[in-house]
Amino acid sequence: MQKFVGRYKCTLDSKGRLMIPARFRRIIPADSGEMLVISRGQEKCLNLYPLSEWNEVIGKLSSLPPGPKKRNLIRFYSDKSHSLNIDKSGRIAIPPDFIEMIGNSKKVVAIGALTYIEIWAEDDYDEIRKQALDTYLEGDWQY
C-alpha cells in the first residue's frame, strides 16, 4: 500500500471546501470509498483519515481496558471527528468548527503523514516544519 507523503499548499474556498491533492486522492484505499474522517490533531492541525485507517484508530480505542480513560478518549474522538464525503471534483467540505480549530485560515498546507493527511494553517506549519528539521538534524536516526 502506498503511503501519503509530500507537502501541498491549498486554499479553502468560501464554503470551506478543500481540494484533496491528486496524488493523495489516487492512493486513498478503495475500501474507504469516497469517504474520509476528519479529526482534531494533537498539535494545531486537522487529521484526515481514509475510512480504513480510521477503523484502525477505532479498533485501538476499543481494545483499551474499560474505565474512565477509555470513555474519555472515545468521547473526545466522537466529539472531535466527522465523516466527510469526497465530491466528484475531489473536494471535501470541512465543517466550520474544524476550520476554527486551525485559526480560520484559508491558506492551508496538506501534509502526508504516511497513513493519514495533516491539514495545517500555512503559518502554523512553517513553525512545525522548522521543529521537524531541528529534530532530524539533532537526532541520530538515519535511513
Instruction: Assess if residue 97 is contained within a domain.
Output: yes
Q: What pLDDT, on the 0 to 100 scale, is given for residue 143? A: 66
Question: Residue-wise pLDDT tens for the chain (143 aa)?
Answer: 689 999 999 999 999 999 999 999 999 988 888 899 999 999 999 999 999 899 999 999 899 999 999 999 999 888 899 999 999 999 999 999 999 999 999 999 999 999 999 999 999 998 889 988 888 888 877 76
CA distances to 10, 14, 54, 68 from 64, rounded to whole Å, are: 36, 40, 16, 11
Q: What pLDDT, on the 0 to 100 scale, is given for residue 25? A: 94
User: For the domain that residue 95 is a member of, what is the CATH number?
Assistant: 3.40.1550.20
How far is 5 from 112, CA to CA, in rounded Å? 4
Instruction: Assess if residue 56 is contained within a domain.
Output: yes
Q: How many domains does the chain have?
A: 1
Instruction: Assess if residue 143 is contained within a domain.
Output: no
Q: What pLDDT, on the 0 to 100 scale, is given for residue 100? A: 95
Domain residues for the domain of 127 are 7-138
Instruction: Assess if residue 2 is contained within a domain.
Output: no
Q: What pLDDT, on the 0 to 100 scale, is given for residue 31? A: 81
Q: What pLDDT, on the 0 to 100 scale, is given for residue 39? A: 96
Instruction: Assess if residue 15 is contained within a domain.
Output: yes
Q: What pLDDT, on the 0 to 100 scale, is given for residue 12? A: 97
Q: What pLDDT, on the 0 to 100 scale, is given for residue 38? A: 97
User: Could you tell me the pTM of the whole model?
Assistant: 0.90
Instruction: Assess if residue 1 is contained within a domain.
Output: no
Query: Is the four-CA dihedral 44, 45, 46, 52 of positive or negative sign?
Result: negative
